[in-house]
């Protein structure tokens, strides 16, 4: 088990889909406010939890695609946080690819720092616990957004998006995505 290789393999799956969708749709996501992106992630995480509890999907899709969606929406959120108001809505796929890599590399570095301190505890966790942690982080982000970004003693929204991205990658590794 090599966390770096597994992490990179999952990210490659996520990025390949992201870039294909960018070529299909352009960067229509640039129109979304950060709160809307948070809500999109919430919808995906809530669907995962529902599927975990009910054990059946009425639309025939499993949780893998939802975790991939969470990874990609977290990257979108971090890109949006860094975009200046005058950033064009339409970005070329090549630029998006570079931005994607920047956000993921920064998030991966954070994961390795935390992984060192926690001793890869995620490997012994249930996937459902990772889902719950994502939902908890989403509730935190929503509260921070409702407080107009102001925090007294907490990390900001970016750190929470990074944690959600990493939890999703862990779940995808556990699900065998390569």
Angstrom CA distances, 94 to 3, 50, 104, 141, stand at 27, 36, 16, 30
Q: What is the mean pLDDT of the chain?
A: 92
State the number of CA atoms in the 13 A half-sphere of 152 facing the CB. Answer: 1
Output the pLDDT for position 115. Answer: 79
Hey, where are the domains in the chain?
A: 3-174
Contacts 24+ apart (CB under 8 A), 119-123: 120/3, 122/167, 122/170, 123/1, 123/174
- Within 10 angstroms of residue 145's Cβ, the number of other Cβ atoms is 15
Residues 138 and 34 sit within 8 Å (Cβ to Cβ):
no
pLDDT digits (tens, 9 = 90+) for 82-106: 987 788 889 999 999 999 999 999 9
60 pLDDT above the threshold of 70:
no
Residues 49 and 78 sit within 8 Å (Cβ to Cβ):
no
Output the pLDDT for position 33. Answer: 93
Decide which of 152 and 34 is more confident. Answer: 34
């Amino acid at each position: 088990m090599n966390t770096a290789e597994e992490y990179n393999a999952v990210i490659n799956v996520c990025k390949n889909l992201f870039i294909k969708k960018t070529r299909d749709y352009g960067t229509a996501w640039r129109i979304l406010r950060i709160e809307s992106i948070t809500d999109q992630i919430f919808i995906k995480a809530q669907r995962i939890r529902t599927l975990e509890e009910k054990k059946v999907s009425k639309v025939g899709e499993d949780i893998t695609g939802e975790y991939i969606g969470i990874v990609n929406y977290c990257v979108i959120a971090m890109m949006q946080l860094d975009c200046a108001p005058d950033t064009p809505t339409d970005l070329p796929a090549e630029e998006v690819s570079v931005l994607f890599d920047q956000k993921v590399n920064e998030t991966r570095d954070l994961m390795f720092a935390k992984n060192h301190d926690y001793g890869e505890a995620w490997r012994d966790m249930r996937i459902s616990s990772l889902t719950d942690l994502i939902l908890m982080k989403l509730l935190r982000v929503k509260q921070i957004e409702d407080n107009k970004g102001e925090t007294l003693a907490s990390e900001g929204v970016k750190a929470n998006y990074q944690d959600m991205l990493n939890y999703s990658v862990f779940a995808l590794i556990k699900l065998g995505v390569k």
